[in-house]
Amino acid sequence: MPENILIDRLGRIAKITINRPDKLNALNIKTRQELAEALDELRVDDEIRVVVITGAGEKAFVAGADINEFAGRTAVQQRTVMKARSIFTAAEDFPKPLIAMINGFCLGGGCELALSCDIRIAGERARFGQPEINLGIIPGGGGTQRLTRLIGEGKAMQIILTGEMIDAQEAWRLGLVNEVHPVDQLEEKTMELAAKIAEKSPIALSMAKTAVKNAARMNLREGLDSEIDLFALCFSSEDKEEGVRAFIEKRKADFKGR
Ligand code: COA
């Protein structure tokens, strides 16, 4: 049984809760390992079509890497830790949609975890930042790359160079989060969105996720070529036949993930 995360299965949706509220859900080595293992488990669970990641308690999504683990660590030790399986890459490569439900502080590695998810939904009290610069370091979990790609260089630069926090409305204005909701509606609204996505073909969802992610990995020509291949691959699924037939028969499609 994991110690620092909880996994709830709610029909086709799984919710992973990072559960160290007394440390604002900071990511220590054990939590990272458990999170990676949870994603491995949910990756092959055919019942699960969408995964929501959130933080326990009312204060934090994730307040970053566990700073206590940095003390006294050498460069070589830190590199070894970071070159081990990355939760950020694991999230990005996860074949099902991942939604970050951001219920509070979303800082450093927490912001990088949210950036590695596909969609970010925030509560109105959430606060965002890459405060690494205040510790004399820089973001190392993809913050300089994913934040820049998401909101543009100038805005990412300001967040990373100042280390200052921004609130949920500002994060929405910048395009860092997709939606902001009152705290008491955050879970309901996030689950509504997850349920809507979970009705789609899991094969098409996976292809769509890969195709969109490729926009940041490939040049335009490669991305367009890859999109055609992924589009054509959907034609090998029963779900494509079901989707097309359901449209013609004017009924709701029942996608089986085959
Ligand atoms: N790593 C380890 N512990 C952390 C942590 C982190 N990233 N963020 C918070 N905590 C711990 C605090 O040390 C404190 O533990 P304690 O009760 O044993 O002393 C507990 O979580 C509560 O945090 P606290 O600082 O008391 O809450 P606050 O409301 O006063 O401040 C923050 C909240 C988020 C502003 C503050 O905790 C903070 O700046 N955290 C670090 C953020 C950061 O730099 N992240 C990037 C790391 S690379």
- Provide the residue range defining the domain that includes 168: 5-198
pLDDT per residue over 42-95, tens digit each?
Answer: 999 999 999 999 999 999 999 999 999 999 999 999 998 888 889 999 999 999
> Domain for residue 257, yes or no?
no
Ligand 1 atom nearest 134 alpha carbon = 44
118 lines ligand 1 (CB under 6 A): no
Assess if residue 258 is contained within a domain. Answer: no
Report whether residue 65 contacts ligand 1, using a CB cutoff of 6 Å. yes
Residues facing 123 on adjacent strands: 181
Q: What is the number of structural domains in the chain?
A: 2
Say which residues have a Cβ less than 8 Å from residue 76's Cβ, sequence separation at least 6: none
126 with 37, same domain: the answer is yes
User: What pLDDT score was predicted for residue 30?
Assistant: 95
CB 160 within 8 A of CB 139: yes
Q: Are residues 77 and 17 in the same domain?
A: yes
Mark whether 151 and 207 lie in a shared domain: no
Out of 70-79, 113-122, 133-142, least confident range: 70-79
Per DSSP, 96 falls in state: S
For residue 49, the model assigns a pLDDT of 98
CATH for 102:
3.90.226.10
Res 33: pLDDT: 94
Take atom 14 of ligand 1 and give the residue whose Cα is closest. 23
SS3 247: helix
CATH number at residue 235: 1.10.12
CA of residue 217 to ligand 1 center, whole Å: 34
Max Cα distance, the chain (Å): 66
pTM of the model: 0.96
Residue 169 lies in a domain: yes
